[in-house]
Structures are given as structure tokens and as C-alpha cells.
Structure 1
Amino acid sequence: MATPVVTKTAWQLQEIVAHASNVSSLVLGKASGRLLATGGDDCRVNLWSINKPNCIMSLTGHTSPVESVRLNTPEELIVAGSQSGSIRVWDLEAAKILRTLMGHKANVCSLDFHPYGEFVASGSQDTNIKLWDIRRKGCVFRYKGHSQAVRCLRFSPDGKWLASAADDHTVKLWDLTAGKMMYEFPGHTGPVNVVEFHPNEYLLASGSSDRTIRFWDLEKFQVVSCIEGEPGPVRSVLFNPDGCCLYSGCQDSLRVYGWEPERCFDVVLVNWGKVADLAICNDQLIGVAFSQSNVSSYVVDLTRVTRTGTVTQDPVQASQPLTQQTPNPGVSLRRIYERPSTTCSKPQRVKHNSESERRSPSSEDDRDERESRAEIQNAEDYNEIFQPKNSISRTPPRRSEPFPAPPEDDAATVKETSKPSPAMDVQLPVPNLEVPARPSVMTSTPAPKGEPAIIPATRNEPIGLKASDFLPAVKVPQQAELVDEDAMSQIRKGHDTMFVVLTSRHKNLDTVRAVWTTGDIKTSVDSAVAINDLSVVVDLLNIVNQKASLWKLDLCTTVLPQIEKLLQSKYESYVQTGCTSLKLILQRFLPLITDILAAPPSVGVDISREERLHKCRLCFKQLKSISGLVKSKSGLSGRHGSAFRELHLLMASLD
């Protein structure tokens, strides 16, 4: 009689070199458990298929180390936050950058996708939580309340709440539609590293560096139970899909817990060190850990995890695997989340009509998105994972098979499975990587016609929020094609008004140009100011700024009041021109102005000196007036924020 082969409960799948420098973050796709995203100090985000040695795709664009990454539920989008505070969203199926979001002033430590709406939440070391609408590239809301870095964010299964965990030892629950904090859960005595919602009930779990896991009732807002004695800081927890237990990735072990009452069902030894993320697929738990530039993946067979240590009196149930057990009917369930019947995935290009959204995208965002790319490293694996799927089967069938376990007594198999694979050195050539596009297998799907352009809101400015935004979009019948007359009418709408505006501007510029040809720059600027049209002043300053030698002290007295108006303009091009002109004035004339004003009074009458002194006093007064405005805007983020900070430093001598 042959001896049956006993397989392992847990084993290592593989170890790969994930980045050219240290790995700083990683995440597993929760739907398949097969997709892995890693972020590194090399400023890249790399995608991998679990148990395959080669990188599928490398995403570039960040200019500082990637601090956090997150995949959306259908595994079609990925978001990454960097040390500089910038956030980028990539469309994995189209292999291209989708959005660049700017607004945080420090490291982005945590990210999460909304389960139904097209939103991303981000938590930062600047203590702020921001909610972003990735369709309109705008910040919907900023949640302030934490006093230290926000380490983890999770949306509730129904998409109505957001839970946050931070280094200030607190867990907070936020109401998305009301835009305010619902409750703060105290109790942890160390930084809180992770929070997870129960998949069905109003229950929240939080793990902390104080080596405890706490369970919170979201109806009564009180602690349900507390599990103590973890072997180290709690960094990763995951509820079983049916909600029967909680898995905790501890140092070199997996622990399985219940919470009513609190107890440990099982402990599985896994040599994974500090595991960073967990996912479940096909009764297998996948865990991933990283050390320096290496990433390791491990598997735990959940069918072999039993209820040892439980308080149940039934010895048969105690020996059953957790995956085969039924919920205890004696425990009353809490309120169940009400989920919509459908879900949203990728952002749809929609047209918005609110006045706050009729603004042009900033050129800095455009530049960031041009410089961000998705480079396909392995076309075969890319096509296998991201080829077009139908609504019934999101992933190819062969990817849904469980990972085979190596025999316990076959050491060679285990060693071969965990053999490192230098994936960064293997790059298959893919044509036309400079212009990221779908592979040839995907180009057969025609692009939708008549797709309206996105009109994003001003960066980081709240753009409004409705409860309906957090529910799946309702499909509306497509509009019939416009007939030629209607189409022409739509095109010509507003044409007459714009024609009048541009004609008037051209006439005013002709007037200024006529004076300019005489060679009197001061009179040209005076005439532009007299027209009382800032657009003409901007056009003229854009010319003068190109030749610093044209600037004179008497020109400054005329231009400085106009610069103050430009710096307060809602148009980015006006602000940019104002900053450039002010910088030229400060560099060329501020030392001269301060020296003349500090000089002792002259003996006798010197008309030219008195005129120069009068101009310097006038310029100094105008610069003092502008300095307050510059100081107030120096805290802005993005390119204009850095320009105002530079101007603020140049104007320090005014104080």
C-alpha cells in the first residue's frame, strides 16, 4: 500500500528582485490574489503576476520614492503616492497614465479606491485626508482631525464611510456625504497601522504597534473585544470573505482570530518575516513581504487551518477547517451593509456643467501626465491578465487555479520554488513604448464616438459632493446623433461673443504697438495701463520680460500696481506673468532701492537724486503692499506655490 504524500500547510512561492533599489511599498489585488504591485525608491511602480518571475509593466512618472500603492477592486486601475506628496493614477488595461493629483505637502502614506464611485482617498504625513474625484482631477473634500501621519485608509463595503488609522494612536470614522467625522475610537496605546471593515457586518478591526487588535461595533460605537499578546506590531489584517474570522500577518506566523468572544483559532508558522499584505483566493491565503530590493510571496492552505483553541464544545466542528464551518447561530449578527447591485470601475469621461468646473487644466498637470508612462515589460503576461474581459469572467480560467503545494518531504522542490529570479534584468521588447497604447490584441475594440472632453476643476479646490456620487452610475440611453444644423448651432454657440472680445483686444494691442514703434517703452506701458484691460498688460509684459535691459526704475512704479492685480487673478497665465515680472524687479532693483533709502541725506539740492529717491520710496511702498499677498500664497502647493515661496524669500529684506 502506497504511503500518501503529505503536503505543507504553508510554503514560499518565490523570491524576486522587484526594483533596482529598495522596495518601499507593495499591495496585492484583492479580487484575484494573483496581481502584485510594488513601489520603490527608484520612483517606479512595477506590476507582477504572483509566481511568475518577470515584471509585467513598469509605471514611471514619480520623481521621488513611491510611499504607497493601491489597486481598485476590478484590478483595472492603480494609484501610487510619493514622498513629495504627488499622486498618480494609471489605467492598467490601456497601459497609460490617467490622472496626476497634487495637493499633499508631505509623504502620501495611505490610499484606497472607493468601491462604487470614481473616488480615491489619500492620507499623508501632513495629517490630512483628501478625497479625490479622479474623473475631474479635483479634491472633493479635505478631512482634518488627525495630529500625526495617517497610515491606513479603508472605505466601508457600502461606500458611505471612510475609516482612518494614524500614528496619533486613534482610529476615526468619517461620513463621506456629510463631510465630517462620525466618531473617534480611542484605546490603542501605540501608532495604529491598519484598519479593515468586516465584509458584511457593521464591524471594524484595527491593528496597532501596541501589539493589539481591537474590534469596534459601528452601530453602538464601542469596543467589542481586544486581542492582546501579538508577537510584534500588527501591520496587516484581513477578514475571511464570509466574515467568519480575521487573519493577522504576524512575524513569521499567521494567526486566526475570532472576536465574540476573543480567541485564537489557529497559529500557522510561515517564514515570511514582516508580511506586508494579505489576499485570499481559492481557499488559499497569499502573503507578500519585502526586504531591501527583494519581494517574497507565500501561500497558506486555508483548508488545513482548523479551529484549534476555540471555545466550542463540539469536537467535530473544532477539527473542521475554517473554510467548511458554518456561522455560530448563537451569535447575533449586527446590521448588514446595503450594497448596490452593480459596481463602477474605470472613470467615465463625463461632461460637467457647474461653474466651478469650467477651468482649464494646469500646464503642470499636463506636463506630469506627459512624463508619466506605463512601459510593458512582458507582453505575454500582460495580454493574459489585461486583455479585454467580459462582464462574467474578469480573469482567465487558468489564473483561478490554486497554487500547488510542494510535498513536505521534498526539500528540492521547496528550494526550487523559492529560488530568486532577477526579474529586473528580463525585459522583452515591446514596440512603440514612447506612446503607451493598448497591445494589438486590444486595438480591435473601437473607441467610443462623441466622447466629451474632461473639464477638470481647479487643482485642490473642493468641487462639491452628493450622495449619488457614491453609488453606481445609472445607465442612460445614448443620445441620437445631431443633425448637421444642430451640430453647427452647437459649434457656433458663443462664437459671436468671443469674436467681439478678441477684436477689441486686437484693437487695443494695435494702439499700444503704435506707441511702441516710437521707442518709448514707458509711454507704451502707460497706454496699456490706461486701456484698463489686464489681458493687454499681460501681452506687453510677456514681451518686456524677455529682455531685462528694457526695465527701468520709473517703469517699475507703473507696473507694480498691475502686478498686484495679476497675482490675484483667477487665470494661471496672468499669475505666471505677474510672478516673472516681480522676480525681475526684485533681482534688478530691490538692492538699489534699499541702498538709496538707507543712504544719508545729501547736502545741497540734487534734483535727479530727489526724483530717484521719490521713485524708490514709491516702489518700496508698492512692494510692501505686494509682500503680504506673496506671503499668503507661499503656502500653496504645485508650481505657483514654489514661485510664491521664491518671491517671499527675495522679499525678505523688505521686513
Structure 2
Amino acid sequence: MATPVVTKTAWKLQEIVAHASNVSSLVLGKASGRLLATGGDDCRVNLWSINKPNCIMSLTGHTSPVESVRLNTPEELIVAGSQSGSIRVWDLEAAKILRTLMGHKANICSLDFHPYGEFVASGSQDTNIKLWDIRRKGCVFRYRGHSQAVRCLRFSPDGKWLASAADDHTVKLWDLTAGKMMSEFPGHTGPVNVVEFHPNEYLLASGSSDRTIRFWDLEKFQVVSCIEGEPGPVRSVLFNPDGCCLYSGCQDSLRVYGWEPERCFDVVLVNWGKVADLAICNDQLIGVAFSQSNVSSYVVDLTRVTRTGTVARDPVQDHRPLAQPPPNPSAPLRRIYERPSTTCSKPQRVKQNSESERRSPSSEDDRDERESRAEIQNAEDYNEIFQPKNSISRTPPRRSEPFPAPPEDCHLFLLPPDAATAKEAAKPSSAMDVQFPVPNPEVLPRPPVVASTPAPKAEPAIIPATRNEPIGLKASDFLPAVKIPQQAELVDEDAMSQIRKGHDTMCVVLTSRHKNLDTVRAGHTVPLCPSPDGALFAQTSVDSAVAINDLSVVVDLLNIVNQKASLWKLDLCTTVLPQIEKLLQSKYESYVQTGCTSLKLILQRFLPLITDMLAAPPSVGVDISREERLHKCRLCYKQLKSISGLVKSKSGLSGRHGSTFRELHLLMASLD
């Protein structure tokens, strides 16, 4: 009688040292299930081929830890967001930086590529969602509605909607064409960590730290079902490609769910800890998790997993009979997505419920892109995965084979992360060899880690990240290239000297600014004449700042005055308008923004008064107060006419402030 072959359902594939410091984010390519991108506290993005030991490519340019990474559908582009709020896009086939996108004011928590157009959505801890046109470096829309950090973004399969999940316990659905929120889905009682669209039907799944998964109908905008009792916070979910079920990466297990009604079909024990991302290829589910600087990958054989029908594996699951299937099994319960046959057109720009902003290329962006690099670390693996484009179409990728299950007696060993000591580590040493048995779903709990004698042919479980050069940042990474004879790199003393070059100048500037602010404040230590709304205080403060001739102090004061419209009087307008003209011509973005805000307040509050006063017939008799007001209106009108030419010239800009100047130009139309 032949002995039956034991096939594993789940096993650990590999563990690598992915970065020189802690790993902060990772993502799998969903098309192949074989490409892995990792972001680390060392400010790098590294590319890996699953089950290969070496880093394929290392992407540099960020100067703060990489918080989020995302691959586009064809796995040709990668976008990475940093702790400082900057976003960079690389072309993986050409091995070069494409775009640097600046605009967020805090950590980038989530990213996603549009399925058809060349657009990227970003969500940040600053609560904003931005849609970027990566062809023009521009921000197409800014969506505001969440009150806390946006943790996950996903485009719908047809590319018309964007779903967002945030720490404010809500899920929101945005219409990209109209530029507004379609619906908000409340119900979670904890931060929502992940959202995922059904591949075919109008259905959305969301997973939260409240240990629930909710399914939302996108036609009726209501909850379909709610799965409760997850072992821990839900961090990763994935629909099966045919949409028959949802996979949830739980702590040390994979769970398979249905939603009409809510049901757990199967539970597969996988010791992957806090799995961060999932992908499916060749009837295998790939899961990846990270801990400190290590990244681990796992495989689940989906041919041995129950995805429909009755529950087969876990005795604690619900055994209620499933709902009767529809008469026509091929007919979905909901509307299905209509995929465009060509790439989608650029979203229309509308004003309602969104703020449109666009950046023009600047020298700072160009410098960032020059300093961002894509270093190919392993040419053989690179050529295998990123096949070059030709003039007709992209060469289709080779279909990879499924990962074979390891033999029952396979011994895996740890190696130290330092590649330079790899040869020494290869020598037999009982202290360095640790056995990690592959988990067997039929045996619970998992056997403890025990010491073992070395097996010469065993593959390492932790593979050092071998590269052509050290991955850790040096001080010279922050500096432009400096030619130093007979010296390969800057020593610490020289590097610090370079960094400190502008330090003294900056200190002088800030000291002078502080002194001028003290001068303005010192003029008001004696109580002033009664002024209930503080208008006299604002007037005398601005007068002092103008007398000092320090535009930075004027900006500081205007930022305060702009917050209270009642502080504005005609006297203040006559003093501020010449300063606004200087601010609008400044090279500093913050100065231009403050000038635009002040000018808009003046136009909305005083332009009708000015035009009415100038159009009114002369008064009969002597009215001193009216004459004074008329004189101020004439002075303001003259100054506004001077500014209107500048505003008109800037209204044609396509940069960040172009729309603001166009709005100001419309407001000033009555001057003509």
C-alpha cells in the first residue's frame, strides 16, 4: 500500500534583512505576486523578488523615513511617501526618478495608483487627500472631510471613485469626476485601517481596529453585513480575483469570509504575526510581514482552502446553512463595474466641495529629482522582472511557477545581517544555527524553536541584504557632491562644517526678526485709547512694522489680523496695500499666500464701499468725516489699480497659486 503524500497548506517561504534600520512599510505587486517593495527608516525604498536573496534595486532621495509605498498595476512605477510629507515616483523599468510631489504638511499614511490614468492619490496625517497628475507634477484635487489621519486609499476598478479610511472611524467614497464626496459610511468604533473594492460588483469592504470587517453596498450606500470577533485589529484584506470570498490576514491565521450572509468559510493557521500585505498568484496567497529590519514572506495553498460552501475546518465557526444562491449563478447581486477600453481622461476640474491646486516645476523640484536615484543592485533579477519597453507594446511578463512546498524535514537557518561576515557565518557553529520548523496545520500549537545541528545544504531563513555599497545614510548624503582630492568621502568633521555654513547667517536673520518684533511689541506697553475690537492696536502695530521696513514682521502681523475681519478698517487698508504689492512679488511662497489672503479680505469687505463712494455725487455743504473717507477710498482705489495689473499677469499661472490669482482677478473686475 503506497504511503500518501502529505502536502502543506501554509508555510514560511523566506526571511530577509530588508534595511539597515527598521522597516516602516511594504507592499506586494498585485499583478505578479512576486515583486516586493519595502520602505525603511533609512529613507530608502528597496525592491525584491519574492524568494530571491538579493535586493534588485535601491531607490534614494527621501531625507526622512519612508512611511508608505505603492506599486501601480503593471508594476512599472512605484510611489513612496515620507514622514516629512514629500512624495516621489520612480520608473522601475527605466531605473530613474520621475516626479517629486510636495504639498502635504505631515506624514504620508496611504498611497494608490489610478488603475488607468497617470494619477496618484495620497492620504496624510494632515487629514487631506490629494489627487496628483504625475505627468505634470500637479495636484488636481484636494479632498477634505476626514478629521484624523487617512490610513488607506483605494481606487475603484473602473477608476471613477476613490475610497478612503481614516482614524476618525469613518469610510468615505469620493467621486473623482465631480470632485466631491458621494457618501460617508459610519459604523466602525475604532480607526479604519484598510478598505478594498470587490473586483466586479459595487461592494466595498473595510477593516478596523475595532476587530470588525464591514461590507458596504455602493448602490444603496448601506451596510450589507458585519463580521465581528476578529482575533485582533484588521490590517490587511483581499478579495479573491473572482470575488467569491474575502481573505483577512489575522494574527497568526488566514480567515476566509463570505458576506451574504456573513460567514467564515475557513481558518488556516499561519504564523506570520502582523501580516502587512496580501497578494494572489497561481492559486497561492502570498503574505508578507515585517518586524524591525526583517521582512518575512509566507505562502498559503488556496487549492486546499475552503472558499465557498459549508464550513470545513474550524470547530468554533458558525455552521448555519448558507443562503440559497441566486437562480442564475453568473448574475451578480449588484451592479458590476464597467472598465474603460482605453486610458481614462484627465478628471475635470470643478469648484464645488474641493480645492484645486497645481504646482509648476521649480528649481527645488528639479534638485530633488537630481538627488533621487534608482540603483540597480542585482542586474540579473532586474532584467528578469523589469523587461524593457519597445516601440509597440510592453513585453508581457513571464508567468512564474507556484512556490513548491518545502519537505517535511527541511531545516532553515539564521545568518547574521552583515554580508561581510557571511563566509565566517557559513562555518559550522551550534550557536548560530537555529531551526524553524514549517508550521503544520494539523498540529497545534506550533512547536517551539529548538537548537539543531547544521545541515550543509539548507537555505538560510534570514538572508543578509547584499549590495554594492552600504545602505546606511552618511552625512554626505545630504550634501552636494564635493570634490576632495585623495579622499573617497567626507569625514564627519568636514561634513558638519559644510552643514554649518549657513547656520550663522540664519541665526543673524532670526535674531534680527525677533528684535524687530520686540520693537513693535514695546510700542504698546502703555495702554492705548479704548478700542473695543483692537483695530487701533492693529493699525499702530502695522505702522510700526512698516516703519522698521521688515517684510517678515509685516507677514507675522498680517497672519494675525487676517484671522479677525473686524480689525480691518480703511486706515489699515491704505497702510497695508503697498505692502501687499511687495508680498505678491516675493519669491517666498508663504509671503505670497499671506498677501493673497489679505487682498481677498480687503476686496470682499471694502471694494463695494470704495466704488460706491467714488461713484456718489458730491455732497452739499461741508462734511469733514465724509471728505476724509472719500480721500481714503481714492487712495485705496489707486493702490488697488496698481495691484490689479500684477494680479492679472499672475492669473495665467498653472502653479499652486494660479487659481487664487484668477479668483482675485475676478473680484477686481469692478475696478475697470
Tell me the TM-score range normalised by the shorter chain: 0.5 to 0.7
8 A Cα contact 1:307 1:318, kept in partner: no
Aligned-residue offset at 1:341: 2.2
1:293-308 counterparts in 2 under 5 A? Answer: 293-307=293-307
Deviates more, 1:209-218 or 1:505-514: 505-514
Closer, same or farther: CA 354–203 of 1 in aligned 2, 3 Å:
closer
- The alignment partner of 1:528 has SS state of helix
Q: Deviations over 1:541-586 (max 9, x none)?
A: 9999999999999999999958952544589899799999999999
Deviates more, 1:271-280 or 1:638-647: 638-647
Q: Deviations over 1:175-207 (max 9, x none)?
A: 111111111001100000000000000000000
Aligned-residue offset at 1:306: 1.9
Q: Deviations over 1:27-58 (max 9, x none)?
A: 00000000000000000000000000100000
Closer, same or farther: CA 599–379 of 1 in aligned 2, 3 Å:
farther
Aligned-residue offset at 1:408: 3.5
Give the equivalent residue in structure 2 for 1:450: 458
Give the equivalent residue in structure 2 for 1:113: 113
Aligned-residue offset at 1:640: 12
8 A Cα contact 1:151 1:192, kept in partner: yes
- The alignment partner of 2:572 has SS state of helix
Closer, same or farther: CA 637–44 of 1 in aligned 2, 3 Å:
farther
Aligned-residue offset at 1:333: 1.9
Tell me, in whole angstroms, the C-alpha distance in 2 between the residues paired with 1:218 and 1:330.
20
Closer, same or farther: CA 357–148 of 1 in aligned 2, 3 Å:
closer
Aligned-residue offset at 1:400: 1.5
Closer, same or farther: CA 615–416 of 1 in aligned 2, 3 Å:
farther
8 A Cα contact 2:430 2:452, kept in partner: no
Closer, same or farther: CA 440–163 of 1 in aligned 2, 3 Å:
same
More RCO (CA 8 Å, sep 6+)? 1
Aligned-residue offset at 1:407: 2.8
Deviates more, 1:464-473 or 1:328-337: 464-473
Tell me, in whole angstroms, the C-alpha distance in 2 between the residues paired with 1:452 and 1:479.
37
Aligned-residue offset at 1:411: 26
Q: Deviations over 1:87-129 (max 9, x none)?
A: 0000101111100000100000000000111110000000000
Aligned-residue offset at 1:78: 0.3
8 A Cα contact 2:19 2:465, kept in partner: no
8 A Cα contact 2:141 2:355, kept in partner: no
Closer, same or farther: CA 119–305 of 1 in aligned 2, 3 Å:
same
Closer, same or farther: CA 103–284 of 1 in aligned 2, 3 Å:
same
8 A Cα contact 2:244 2:308, kept in partner: no
Aligned-residue offset at 1:13: 0.8
Deviates more, 1:264-273 or 1:606-615: 606-615
Identity %: 95
8 A Cα contact 1:308 1:318, kept in partner: no
Deviates more, 1:575-584 or 1:124-133: 575-584
Give the equivalent residue in structure 2 for 1:404: 404
- The alignment partner of 2:451 has SS state of coil
Deviates more, 1:25-34 or 1:402-411: 402-411
Closer, same or farther: CA 430–19 of 1 in aligned 2, 3 Å:
farther
Closer, same or farther: CA 18–586 of 1 in aligned 2, 3 Å:
farther
Could you state the TM-score of these two structures normalised by the residue count of structure 1?
0.62
Tell me, in whole angstroms, the C-alpha distance in 2 between the residues paired with 1:88 and 1:436.
45
Tell me, in whole angstroms, the C-alpha distance in 2 between the residues paired with 1:292 and 1:566.
47
Q: Deviations over 1:495-521 (max 9, x none)?
A: 99999999999999999999xxxxxxx
8 A Cα contact 1:162 1:176, kept in partner: yes
Could you state the TM-score of these two structures normalised by the residue count of structure 2?
0.61
Aligned residue pairs: how many?
A: 648
8 A Cα contact 2:260 2:323, kept in partner: no
- The alignment partner of 2:432 has SS state of helix
Closer, same or farther: CA 510–318 of 1 in aligned 2, 3 Å:
closer
Closer, same or farther: CA 502–322 of 1 in aligned 2, 3 Å:
same
Deviates more, 1:571-580 or 1:408-417: 408-417
- The alignment partner of 1:317 has SS state of coil
Q: Deviations over 1:467-500 (max 9, x none)?
A: 9999999999999999999999999999999999
Aligned-residue offset at 1:651: 30
Aligned-residue offset at 1:76: 0.4
Deviates more, 1:291-300 or 1:308-317: 308-317
Closer, same or farther: CA 347–171 of 1 in aligned 2, 3 Å:
closer
Tell me, in whole angstroms, the C-alpha distance in 2 between the residues paired with 1:613 and 1:432.
90
Deviates more, 1:232-241 or 1:634-643: 634-643
Tell me, in whole angstroms, the C-alpha distance in 1 between the residues paired with 2:165 and 2:334.
23
- Where structure 1 has 5 or more consecutive residues not aligned to the other structure, the ranges are 515-521
Give the equivalent residue in structure 2 for 1:556: 573
Aligned-residue offset at 1:264: 0.5
Aligned-residue offset at 1:388: 1.9
8 A Cα contact 1:37 1:47, kept in partner: yes
8 A Cα contact 2:28 2:37, kept in partner: yes
1:435 aligns with 2:435: no
Closer, same or farther: CA 612–446 of 1 in aligned 2, 3 Å:
farther
Closer, same or farther: CA 153–611 of 1 in aligned 2, 3 Å:
closer
Closer, same or farther: CA 18–427 of 1 in aligned 2, 3 Å:
farther
Closer, same or farther: CA 546–150 of 1 in aligned 2, 3 Å:
closer
1:153-172 counterparts in 2 under 5 A? Answer: 153-172=153-172
Closer, same or farther: CA 600–265 of 1 in aligned 2, 3 Å:
same
Deviates more, 1:283-292 or 1:571-580: 571-580
